[in-house]
Amino acid sequence: MPFSHLWLFYRYFILGCTAITLFQCVLMANAPRAYFGVTLFWTKLLSSILIGLLFHFFRNNYLYFFYNLGYTQRMLYSRALAVDLVIWLIAIIITYQLS
């Protein structure tokens, strides 16, 4: 999957996912460290899945473009989730280093 196609799909999620990532970075910078990373990970994963479900149910007509390019739903959502988790991990590492 070319990055341009992935970006076209991920741009629908970027606002909500970035807001959750930044909120979690603020929480991590101001909270104690014990077992906090695991809680942040599961919160991020579940919120990303929820954003994907909201997109799937309310913006399903945008998927036809990607179907015509030969992509499946599973491929689109799994790669968008992977990109989101990589961005989240980088932001968490930077926040941890700065705090």
Average per-residue pLDDT for the chain: 86
Handedness of CA 45, 79, 23, 98 (dihedral sign): positive
Instruction: Kindly state the average pLDDT of the residues 70-81.
Output: 90
Q: Give pTM, 2 decimals.
A: 0.83
Residue 23 and residue 18: Cα distance in Å, rounded? Answer: 8
Instruction: Kindly state the average pLDDT of the residues 46-51.
Output: 90
First to last CA, the chain: 36
Q: pLDDT at position 3, please?
A: 77
Instruction: Kindly state the average pLDDT of the residues 30-46.
Output: 79
